[in-house]
Chains A and B, each alone.
Chain A
Amino acid sequence: MVEDRPFLNFLAHAVLILGVVVVAFPVYLALIASTHTAQAFSSGVIPLLPGAEMANNYMTMLGTGMSSSGAPPLGGMMLNSLIMALIISLGKIVISITSAFAIVYFRFPFRNLAFWAIFVTLMLPVEVRIVPTFKVVADLGMLNSYAGLSVPLIASATATFLFRQVFLTIPDEMLEAARIDGAGPMKFFRDILIPLSRTNIAALFVILFIYGWNQYLWPLLITTDDRFYTVVAGIKRMAEVADAVPQWNFVMAAVMLAMLPPVLVVIFMQRLFVKGLTETEK
């Protein structure tokens, strides 16, 4: 701070408090909505204070689901989301770190071509190649499977570039010393590179986990079997029920549960999260 100006300080606090309130407002309403009965919403205006049905609603969603909209219990969907997010984040990290290792520490023909092939993935978000990718996945028999949910999203240029960047900052002397000790490439990779990239891996994991958990369009398209529904895509199916009004109390309980894991990750791993975000730049 340059100088002390009480009015500016007050204004800054006011702006931030207002910001925090506005940012939290939608979630507060969702939380309140999830503590009422379905009838509380038919009177016209949503309640602003908590109701008494919280335990009941959450137990229903976790345990039995909403049969009237073909939605299975949320517990299973959250497990699917977790599996998908873990496969995507760990998969991305593994294939990216080995790719970066190959590109930085080896000279081989078509090295540049390989680099560019990976770079291209940056330019083809799943949304623009959605129809043909769906067909490829269908042809491979991967609809309604964990592999189909995650593998097509695993290639990652940003993660590869991040690790390449990290490796380039590792002094050459490390490699020379390792060679003198007679270490082969894989030993060097395992004993030196991975430990040195540990915080980068962790930071990247936080970002990628959120990315994986929040996938929406892709799981929506390729899962038609409720055993593989993920929670974010599943909520959409709950909100649009044919010939009936959405049961807001249940939908909002599902919304709260669906956003809890990634939000907790951000809050409790804020330092890693910020590092991951600012380093990968998307």
Chain B
Amino acid sequence: MIRIAAVSAIALAASLNAASAQTEVQWWHAMGGELGMKLDEMVAAYNASQSDYKVVASFKGTYAETMTAAIAAFRANEQPAIVQVFEVGTGTMMAAKGAIYPVYELMADMGEAFDPAAFLPSVVGYYTDTAGNLLSMPFNSSTPILYYNKDVFEKAGLDRETPPATWADVEAFSAKIMESGAAPCGFTTGWISWIQTENFSAWHNQPIGTLENGFGGLETELTVNGPVQQKHWENLKKWQDSGVFQYGGPVGGNDAPPKFYAQECAMIMNSSAGRAGVIANATNFEVGYGMLPYYDDVEGAPQNSIIGGATLWVLQGKDEAQYKGVADFFSFLASAEVQAGWHQDTGYLPITQAAYDLSTEQGYYTANPGADVSIKQMTLNAPTENSKGLRFGSYVQIRDIIDEEFQALLSGGKDAKTALDALVSRGNVLIREFEAANK
């Protein structure tokens, strides 16, 4: 009874809103703080640019909270038209066929001009189906790069302008840095899962799972325990034991950046979107930028890195007027000016070639050295089926498993092979469970 009353109250409120000429489009997002302010500016600019639609953006907490809130709202039939979902939620969203409205269908249904070829393939590839159709709208994407301390490099007798290119370089540079006393540790890293496992695999053109890393269907299985990944994890363990590498903790590795800022570790691998934060915190030294290191004895390396970040998903159950608004808003977001502005303000990757060209033209990359490393690294080669991205169900938990097995490796409980094998078999249990629930 109460529920019916509540629902009818909402319906009444909705009908009152409809009385005004504008169609409201709800957008739930996870961009707090400065990013949230930039986002609000963007929305305000869109709302001022036309009078048919009004986008209402609401901050819903962290990525996980936003996704959970949207799903709970969907179950209560009060979902927003647009929701921002992080890349690891892609598998879950994609499998929910009756709940999502794929972007390519939306654009076609609403008669909105839409040219998939305009997008940077390595950015949008992550969010397409096997036929190359765009399912969700890339919004904030980043990729991991290498940051290094130029002053420490110089103190150690290294060239301050040359970042390490290969893992052999990383090892040799670190040895020099530590021997010379320039810094007590060679490197640290954020995101063991995203950087040292997923991106590492793509960068070396190694599969993470079967069926094109899960793009091909729910029947996929993890295969991230290949010899190349094994060798890398083994090395990380070896380097941790000798002090070359310091572990920064699970998930994003929150303890890693302070080690870099305090000049304890000379290098850090972390998200390109953190560039502004790195510069702000690196108060006593100059920061250099490089691509991720690779093993030069692995064929096909370096391939291209993959992205992280979030995309905008359109949810089912809204009326056509709202979807027209969504399509119109997406066209606005994808325009070169808006994209270039967002890219330059936040450090996230541009999603179209035009936005990249515009930024170049505006002299952004000359004024901000290192800002284009991420784009060059992303577009180094045409993505293969191993480097397009990944798509597995329950991937939020699988990321936790990656962290756990890596911790087991570092604390000496398991060797690299055992840890990776365990990661694969535990992850596959979750993937099978997800397959069963979504068949």
Contact = CB atoms under 8 A, between A and B. Distances in A.
A135 B58 contact: no
Interface stretch (A8-16, A37-45, A115-123): A37-45
Contacts of B271: 243
Query: A interface, by DSSP: helix, strand, loop or mixed?
Result: loop
Interface in B53-72: 58-62, 65-66, 69, 72
A19 interface: no
Contact of B32 (A70, A138, A139, A246): A70
A64 interface: no
A135 B75 contact: yes
A165 interface: no
Which of B7, B254, B264, B274 has the largest number of chain A CB atoms within 10 A? B254
Contact of B258 (A42, A140, A242): A42
A111 to B, nearest CB: 26
Given A139-B76, A245-B257, A245-B258, A70 B59 contact: yes
A223 to B, nearest CB: 8
B3 interface: yes
A225 interface: yes
Nearest to A242: B252
A139 B281 contact: no
Contacts of A243: 252, 270-271, 273-274, 277
Contacts of B252: 242-243
B285 to A, nearest CB: 12
Nearest to A225: B58
Contacts of A43: 262
Contacts of B66: 224
A218 interface: no
Interface in B241-270: 252, 254, 257-258, 261-262, 264, 270
Given A44-B262, A70-B36, A245-B281, A140 B73 contact: no
Interface residues on A, range: 20 to 34
Interface in A67-82: 67-71
A68 B257 contact: no
Given A42-B262, A70-B36, A224 B60 contact: yes
A134 interface: yes
B261 A245 contact: yes
A51 interface: no
A226 interface: yes
Contacts of B72: 134-135, 138
B98 interface: no
A241 B34 CA distance: 12
B3 A139 contact: yes
Interface string B13-47: 00000000000000000001110110000000000
Contacts of A237: 32, 61-62
A258 B9 CA distance: 36
A152 interface: no
B168 interface: no
Contacts of B264: 44
B51 interface: no
B49 interface: no
Contacts of A69: 32-33
A244 interface: yes
Interface of A: 39, 42-44, 66-71, 134-135, 138-141, 143, 224-226, 237, 240-246
Pairs A-B, 4 closest by C-beta atoms: A70-B32, A243-B274, A141-B6, A224-B60
